[in-house]
């Protein structure tokens, strides 16, 4: 396949070069023809000036010196003139020539034949402004064509790269490896316990397993676009507080050395969101993992606060980690960009920003080196029709 692609590209370049050569030859022929016509015209104009003198020298057999002088001067009229003859013009044979009739007192008095040298005409043609202009335009066309071909190749390579990155197996493997770190950490800890699980630990275990199941179902549903709307409509009515408190319980158990605090400043009885539970847990889990990796060894703390605004919820996650330089912050939500992680893949903040933007939300990051980092999520509240599908159907 790669060999075929290279052959195709070489074929396109060869065609462009062939077109350029053909155009150059056409311009050369045109310039040669133009130069021949110009030589003919120059000779005819000059002969017309001395026509009477040439005719008298021929008819009355006068002093031929003037005639010879005029004929010799034809070479100065145009450098392509190599021979000229008045007495017997028919005897003058050459590839490119012209015969100019001469008259005396409006009566025919013979002809003058002039030969043009092929090499002289060619030299004049290739140094003429017409050929130079054609050559410059041809080079410009060739350069434009090569640039267009180069840009087309770049575009093709970009599409192939995007296609390779969007393959389902690669995406699933990458996402699963990134998303299940939190639940697996809790499961690993639980598996090391030899005594019987308490009710709290059993609840934590069930929640971790449920998260893994939800992640798997979400990844599978990506290949089933027809089911995506059903999943969103069901999960949109889940309570954000319940999801966050369960997730926080999991992280407290997995990271006992970290002080987790949770504050809720809302007036609504239910904290419904337009983002489904799996995506929301993924977003928050990624942010908590980032905070954990940046925390100090002593007195590590993560504060999570939920606040209510008129049309959206604000979720603030703040840590006392090492912080991020100000010049790096604008780049952190770009795919593949990571900071301060030896094995960072640059997915967490990028996926969080993308997931929130899909429902009209936003993500903002503030940080100071040596102080900590604050991430603020803006999550839109669902409309009444999204909360009550029957009401939405009635209005439609």
Q: Report the interhelical angle of 181-191 vs 199-221 (nearest 10°).
A: 150
pLDDT classification of 234: cutoffs 50, 70, 90: very low
- Residue 352 CA to residue 362 CA, distance in Å, equals 9
Q: Is the dihedral of CA 154, 156, 157, 159 positive or negative?
A: positive
- Residue 136 CA to residue 30 CA, distance in Å, equals 15
- Output 249 or 179, whichever has higher pLDDT: 249
pLDDT at 390 over 60: no
pLDDT value for 1: 46
Alpha helices by DSSP H, the chain: 2-49, 51-59, 65-77, 118-126, 129-165, 168-179, 181-191, 199-221, 225-235, 240-254, 277-294, 348-358, 384-387, 389-395
349, two tokens: 């903040």
State the pTM of this model: 0.50
pLDDT classification of 217: cutoffs 50, 70, 90: low
pLDDT value for 375: 94
60, two tokens: 């009355």
127, two tokens: 């140094």
Long-range pairs for 292-297: beta carbons < 8 A, 24 or more residues apart: 292/251, 292/255, 292/258, 293/321, 293/340, 293/341, 294/319, 294/321, 294/322, 294/323, 294/340, 294/373, 295/258, 295/319, 295/320, 295/321, 296/320, 296/321, 296/322
Range 124-134 average pLDDT:
81
Q: What tens digit of pLDDT does each residue of 316-371 get?
A: 999 999 999 988 888 888 877 878 776 666 778 888 888 889 888 999 999 999 89
What length is written for the chain? Answer: 396
pLDDT value for 386: 61
Q: Is the dihedral of CA 240, 241, 242, 244 positive or negative?
A: positive
pLDDT classification of 167: cutoffs 50, 70, 90: low
Contacts for 332 with CB less than 8 Å, ≥ 6 apart? 324, 338, 339, 349, 365
- Residue 127 CA to residue 293 CA, distance in Å, equals 73
Contact 297, 331 (CB under 8 A): no
Rg of the chain over Cα atoms, rounded to whole angstroms, equals 44
Helix (H/G/I), strand (E/B), else coil: 262: strand
- Picking from 242, 276, 293, the residue whose alpha carbon sits closest to that of residue 355 is 276
Q: Is the dihedral of CA 272, 275, 281, 287 positive or negative?
A: negative
Q: Is 375 left (phi over 0), alpha (psi -120 to 50) or beta?
A: beta
pLDDT at 263 over 90: yes
Helix (H/G/I), strand (E/B), else coil: 323: coil
């Amino acid at each position: 396949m790669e060999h075929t692609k290279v052959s195709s590209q070489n074929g396109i370049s060869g065609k462009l070069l062939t077109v350029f050569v053909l155009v150059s030859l056409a311009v050369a022929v045109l310039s040669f023809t133009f130069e021949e016509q110009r030589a003919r015209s120059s000779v005819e104009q000059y002969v017309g000036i001395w026509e009477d003198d040439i005719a008298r020298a021929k008819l009355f057999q006068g002093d031929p010196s003037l005639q010879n002088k005029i004929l010799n001067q034809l070479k100065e009229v145009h450098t392509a003139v190599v021979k000229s003859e008045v007495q017997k013009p028919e005897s003058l044979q050459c590839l490119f020539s012209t015969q100019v009739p001469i008259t005396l007192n409006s009566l025919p008095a013979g002809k003058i034949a002039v030969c043009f040298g092929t090499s002289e005409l060619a030299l004049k043609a290739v140094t003429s402004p017409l050929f130079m202009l054609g050559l410059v335009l041809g080079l410009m066309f060739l350069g434009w064509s090569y640039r267009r071909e180069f840009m087309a190749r770049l575009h093709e390579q970009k599409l192939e790269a995007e296609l390779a990155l969007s393959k389902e197996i690669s995406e699933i493997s990458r996402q699963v490896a990134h998303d299940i770190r939190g639940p697996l950490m809790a499961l690993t800890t639980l598996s090391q316990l030899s005594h019987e699980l308490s009710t709290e630990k059993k609840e934590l275990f069930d929640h971790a397993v449920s998260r893994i199941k939800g992640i798997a179902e979400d990844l599978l549903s990506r290949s089933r676009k027809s089911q995506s709307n059903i999943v969103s409509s069901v999960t949109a009515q889940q309570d954000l507080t319940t999801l966050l408190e369960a997730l926080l319980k999991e992280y407290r158990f997995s990271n006992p050395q970290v002080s987790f605090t949770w504050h809720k400043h809302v007036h609504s009885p239910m904290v419904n969101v337009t983002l489904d539970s799996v995506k929301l847990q993924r977003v928050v889990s990624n942010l908590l993992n980032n905070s954990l990796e940046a925390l100090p060894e002593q007195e590590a703390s993560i504060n999570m606060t939920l606040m209510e605004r008129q049309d959206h919820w604000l979720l603030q996650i703040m840590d006392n980690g090492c912080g991020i330089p100000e010049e790096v912050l604008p780049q952190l939500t770009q795919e593949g960009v990571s900071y301060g992680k030896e094995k960072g893949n640059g997915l967490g903040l990028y996926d969080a920003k993308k997931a929130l933007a899909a429902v009209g939300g936003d993500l903002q990051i503030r940080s100071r080196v040596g102080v900590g980092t604050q991430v603020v999520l803006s999550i839109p509240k669902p409309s009444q029709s999204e909360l009550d599908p029957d009401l939405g159907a009635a209005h439609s």
